[in-house]
Amino acid sequence: MTVLRRVFFTAVALVSLFLGGVVCLMCQVLAGRDAPAFRVEGHVVSHERGALPVGGDEDAESHTIEVDTASGRHYRVTAVGPGLDLPPGQPVTLDVSTADDSIAYLRAGGSVVDLRPGVVRPVLLIAAALLALGAVYFGAVRLNVYPPVATWLALALGALLAPVAVFVRV
């Protein structure tokens, strides 16, 4: 029984570590999505069109542009849809994220293209991971592997440290 309890304790700890990592990673994705950005002005150097099947839509067309900036940096941007259908030489303004150097917005003429990742998938993954983590801890307490006080302390410590770890990176 002692060996079984140790194996189960180790399994619960590893699953908890994995699920906590998923939650932290998705919080990082959400924090990076809305991180502060700085503006860079440049112009389109090249434009390519390509077929990129998205969600079963075989007719979806992707546009890839390359932008040279006044500071000498070179950016390559790909998106699905007509927002990036820009001719070479077109002046553009990029809003570049300070968190990960990704492009959040592209402004050309009077239009603005939002290039940030969506929020639905990270939020669903966070909810699923937290539900699974709760189920793992509930099962561990019911099987008397963890004492209830240790479980609540671990959850409280994780809840306090996860946001700190995410926002220290940003």
DSSP state, residue 28: H
Check residue 166 and give left, alpha or beta (phi > 0: left; psi -120 to 50: alpha). alpha
For residues 92 and 108, what is the distance between their CA atoms, to the nearest angstrom? 5
Domain 37-114 classified CATH 2.60.120?
Answer: no
pLDDT score, position 49: 81
Closest by Cα among 38, 87, 37 to 67: 87
Of 2 and 84, the structure prediction assigns the larger pLDDT to 84
Closest by Cα among 79, 74, 64, 81 to 115: 79
pLDDT score, position 170: 43
The domain ranges of the chain are: 2-32+120-169, 37-114
3-class secondary-structure state, position 162: helix
**Contact (CB, 8 A) for 136 and 16:** yes
pLDDT score, position 153: 64
Helices vs strands, H then E, count in the chain: 3, 6
DSSP state, residue 80: E
Q: What is the pLDDT of residues 41-86, one digit of tens each?
A: 998 898 888 766 555 556 667 788 889 888 888 888 888 777 778 8
The residues that bridge with 111 in the sheet, in sequence order, are 108
Q: Residue 141: pLDDT band by 50, 70, 90 thresholds?
A: low
For residues 159 and 3, what is the distance between their CA atoms, to the nearest angstrom? 30
For residues 162 and 77, what is the distance between their CA atoms, to the nearest angstrom? 31
Of 39 and 170, the structure prediction assigns the larger pLDDT to 39
